Chains A and B, each alone.
Chain A
Amino acid sequence: MTTSSNLVYLIALPLFSSAILLLLGRIADKWGHIVATLVSASTFVMAALEFVSMRQRTGDARAVHQDLFTWISVGTFNVHASLLLDQLSICFVLLISGVGTLIHIYSIAYMSHDHDRRRFFAFLNLFVAAMLLLVLGDSYLNLYVGWEGVGLASYLLIGFWNQKPAYAVAAKKAFVANRIGDVGLSLAIMIAFAQFGTVSFTGVAAGVPHASSAALTALGAMLLLAAAGKSAQFPLQSWLGDAMAGPTPVSALIHAATMVTAGVYLITRSNFVFDASPTAQTMVLIVGGITLLFGALVGTAKDDIKKALAASTMSQIGYMILATGLGPVGYAFAIMHLLTHGFFKAGMFLGAGSVMHGMNDEVNMRRYGAIGKVMPITAVTFGLGYLAIIGVPPFAGFYSKDKIIETAFNAGGTKGILVGGAALLGAAITAFYMTRVIVLTFTGTKRWDDEAHPHESPSLMWIPMVVLAIGSVASGFLFNSGHALVNWLAPVVNASGEHDAKEFLAPLTVSLLALGVVAIGVAIAILKYRSNVAVEAPEDVSILTKIVRRDLLQDDFNDRVLVRPGQALTRFFVSMDNNFIDGIVRGVGGVIAVSSTNLRKIQNGYVRSYALIMVIGVLALIATIWMVTL
């Protein structure tokens, strides 16, 4: 393992810049966005340099470690604030800083009319710093700091336009849902400490073989809960759709490319736990499978372009989680899909933002149509992303998603068929709803008012989109050529020697099968939405459609099962506090007040009364003497 003293700058620089922008206030309004973007770009440059130097090293020397300071030292429990940059981290660092920089550039133009652009960039830099800390921490506790940091940044950015109550509520919802996941992570840390006496990745990994399977299952379940909260997986998925309240660049960076994939990172990083606990692994599979179908179904009914993309994000992360649940072979494909998804989904979000920018912030796709003609660059970049996500070769999604479906089928037995089937079905639905988005937005007849003057976005916006589109096209091929990414990640995820698993279906068969269902999905969408699209969503639809439009009743479920009983319980406690606890307090006070009011009457000022009391005292004294001498 190589030691380095440069890693900390990856985090310190954006953190410092964020602090500067926030503390200087309005003074920094003129140049704040430029500083933030330059800082982000320099982070990317540093990351790229680290990557290059890592490539030159071999074997164990590739991982870079930096010990900053002793954070906690209690008895035998020592936590160092230290950073670890290995093959897995560098993927994330490059993605975060790269996509982050592109989105910084995009935001300069996108947010140019916003009064609070400086604050926005400060939060973006804060996010970059926290996210980098998350992926660079060498222990669960260090990771936890970044984990909470991105949660905070996410909250601040979703509620960036908090003057609208609905947006503030959305931010709160995201924060609360994340908090449930955070409890899971903190419990996982506590379990790790109780079981292994350490919370560092290497320490826990070393302790896993000696731990009981129950403890490992509990640890895995808690880690999965954490991942579900952060990555909007079932059953904590409900916040992601509302998180689209934030500015579109935020949706692209945080709620598509990076933060929501932290759960995948956590599970991949904890591969030693899940590999040792089949129960936990199965739970991961189930969560991933449910979410990928759930998100895809929700995506079919969304008219809001951002919410459709958010549902798609949820579904795609479901794919990644599913892949991580498939064991050592799956991790690399999960990460590969994560990276390609980072490109094409961020690209599509930026495209959506571009459309909204041109359409006066209109998000309803039913009021779009024929935008491809007026916004050609947006249409092309979005289209490339679209081809990538539905998995058309040779675009990025084809390689990553195909591998996941194939690995799922190869899991063997009923499990393999169920999981592979779900993945295949998800691919079909993905093709359907993404085609629906494309058709409704860019083709067909124009359904927008004449007041809207859609126009191509400025170059600051379309250049990042183009870069991301290139990524959507090429990244899959690059990652897959000669198993580049799989081999690169192998030392981290212990994937050696697992390739000779029995193949359920030949890779070619799987690819053809996948392309087939995708084609069906695309065809149905084109036939359904080619023409005659109502500007208002039709109301006379089947009950199933209505349920899907209501996000498969996720909010109704949460409201009925969790929120209302919670509120009732709170009201009960409040009334308990008001009536019972306060009653005791007031009762004690009242008893004392009443008894003192009565006792005060003894103090009547008459000497004779006092003398009488004295006489009674004498009586008591004599009585005492009488009794003790009896």
Chain B
Amino acid sequence: MDISNYLYLSAILFTIGAVGVVVRRNAIVVFMCVELMLNAANLAFVTFSRINGDLVGQVASFFTMVVAACEVVVGLAIIVTMYRSRRSASVDDASLLKR
């Protein structure tokens, strides 16, 4: 089996995540889709690391995880705040920008 199959998997997962971000309305689901995209990117990093025979990819993946953790914390806090103010977790309800 080719190692590149991991990369194909990564691309497919990434795209599914992107579609989820665009299609789903629940802010939490949108957020989970973002996580899916990050994970897909991590898989690519790990695979690159293996192909290149060094640990740079894994280090990058590690940092991605840390940053993703930060992002989840802040993002979920924002969702909670949003929900508190408008009793809804729908991203479509936060459409004040058009006015």
Residue ranges of A at the interface with B (Cβ–Cβ < 8 Å): 603-608, 611-612, 615, 618
Question: Are A604 and B98 touching (Cβ within 8 A)?
Answer: yes
Q: Which of B21, B95, B96 contacts A611 (CB under 8 A)?
A: B21
Question: Are B92 and A608 touching (Cβ within 8 A)?
Answer: yes
How far, in whole Å, are A603 and B98 apart by their CA atoms in the complex?
A: 6
Question: Are A615 and B18 touching (Cβ within 8 A)?
Answer: yes
How far, in whole Å, are A213 and B60 apart by their CA atoms in the complex?
A: 93
For B21, the closest partner residue in chain A by CB is: A611
B97 within 8 A of A: yes
* A248 CB to nearest B CB, Å: 78
Question: Are A612 and B22 touching (Cβ within 8 A)?
Answer: yes
Question: Are B96 and A607 touching (Cβ within 8 A)?
Answer: no
Nearest 10 Cβ contacts at the A-B interface? A605-B98, A605-B95, A605-B97, A612-B22, A607-B91, A611-B22, A606-B95, A604-B98, A615-B18, A611-B21
B50 within 8 A of A: no
Question: Are B99 and A605 touching (Cβ within 8 A)?
Answer: yes
Question: Are A608 and B97 touching (Cβ within 8 A)?
Answer: no
B94 within 8 A of A: yes
How far, in whole Å, are A562 and B21 apart by their CA atoms in the complex?
A: 75
How far, in whole Å, are A605 and B92 apart by their CA atoms in the complex?
A: 8
Chain A at the B interface: mostly helix, strand, loop or mixed? Answer: helix
How far, in whole Å, are A321 and B38 apart by their CA atoms in the complex?
A: 101
B contact residues around A608 at 8 Å (CB): 21-23, 25, 30, 91-92
Q: Which of B21, B94, B95 contacts A604 (CB under 8 A)?
A: B95
B contact residues around A606 at 8 Å (CB): 91-92, 95, 98
Q: With a 10 A CB-CB cut-off, give which of A605, A607, A611, A615 has the most chain B CB atoms.
A: A607
For B98, the closest partner residue in chain A by CB is: A605
How far, in whole Å, are A604 and B96 apart by their CA atoms in the complex?
A: 9
For B97, the closest partner residue in chain A by CB is: A605
B contact residues around A615 at 8 Å (CB): 18, 21-22
Q: Which of B18, B23, B94 contacts A607 (CB under 8 A)?
A: B94
How far, in whole Å, are A470 and B91 apart by their CA atoms in the complex?
A: 109
How far, in whole Å, are A608 and B26 apart by their CA atoms in the complex?
A: 11
Contact with A along B71-99 (1 / 0, CB 8 A): 00000000000000000000110111111
How far, in whole Å, are A308 and B23 apart by their CA atoms in the complex?
A: 97
Q: With a 10 A CB-CB cut-off, give which of A606, A612, A618 has the most chain B CB atoms.
A: A606
How far, in whole Å, are A603 and B92 apart by their CA atoms in the complex?
A: 13
What are 8 A-to-B residue pairs whose CB atoms are below 8 Å? A605-B96, A605-B98, A606-B91, A606-B98, A608-B22, A608-B23, A608-B91, A615-B21
How far, in whole Å, are A230 and B58 apart by their CA atoms in the complex?
A: 99
* B29 CB to nearest A CB, Å: 12
* A52 CB to nearest B CB, Å: 94
15 additional contacts, CB 8 Å, given A606-B98, A608-B22?
Answer: A603-B97, A603-B98, A604-B98, A605-B95, A605-B98, A605-B99, A606-B92, A606-B95, A607-B91, A607-B92, A607-B94, A608-B25, A608-B92, A611-B21, A611-B22
* A19 CB to nearest B CB, Å: 66
A contact residues around B30 at 8 Å (CB): 608
Q: With a 10 A CB-CB cut-off, give which of B18, B96, B99 has the most chain A CB atoms.
A: B18
* A592 CB to nearest B CB, Å: 21
For A613, the closest partner residue in chain B by CB is: B22
How far, in whole Å, are A353 and B76 apart by their CA atoms in the complex?
A: 105
For A612, the closest partner residue in chain B by CB is: B22
How far, in whole Å, are A534 and B23 apart by their CA atoms in the complex?
A: 104
B contact residues around A605 at 8 Å (CB): 95-99
* B89 CB to nearest A CB, Å: 13
A contact residues around B92 at 8 Å (CB): 606-608
For A600, the closest partner residue in chain B by CB is: B98
For B95, the closest partner residue in chain A by CB is: A605
How far, in whole Å, are A607 and B95 apart by their CA atoms in the complex?
A: 7
* A612 CB to nearest B CB, Å: 5
How far, in whole Å, are A603 and B95 apart by their CA atoms in the complex?
A: 10
How far, in whole Å, are A605 and B99 apart by their CA atoms in the complex?
A: 8
For B27, the closest partner residue in chain A by CB is: A607
A contact residues around B96 at 8 Å (CB): 605
B contact residues around A603 at 8 Å (CB): 97-98
Q: With a 10 A CB-CB cut-off, give which of B22, B92, B95, B99 has the most chain A CB atoms.
A: B22
A contact residues around B91 at 8 Å (CB): 606-608
How far, in whole Å, are A608 and B23 apart by their CA atoms in the complex?
A: 7
How far, in whole Å, are A36 and B25 apart by their CA atoms in the complex?
A: 94
* A615 CB to nearest B CB, Å: 5
* A63 CB to nearest B CB, Å: 87
* A279 CB to nearest B CB, Å: 80
Q: Tell me the residues in window 29-64 of chain B with beta carbons closer than 8 Å to chain A beta carbons.
A: 30
How far, in whole Å, are A520 and B21 apart by their CA atoms in the complex?
A: 114
* A620 CB to nearest B CB, Å: 14
Contact with A along B3-23 (1 / 0, CB 8 A): 000000000000000100111
How far, in whole Å, are A615 and B94 apart by their CA atoms in the complex?
A: 20
A contact residues around B25 at 8 Å (CB): 608
A contact residues around B23 at 8 Å (CB): 608
* A610 CB to nearest B CB, Å: 8
How far, in whole Å, are A53 and B21 apart by their CA atoms in the complex?
A: 108
How far, in whole Å, are A605 and B97 apart by their CA atoms in the complex?
A: 5
* B31 CB to nearest A CB, Å: 12
* B84 CB to nearest A CB, Å: 18
How far, in whole Å, are A611 and B97 apart by their CA atoms in the complex?
A: 14
For B19, the closest partner residue in chain A by CB is: A615
For A601, the closest partner residue in chain B by CB is: B98
How far, in whole Å, are A608 and B92 apart by their CA atoms in the complex?
A: 8
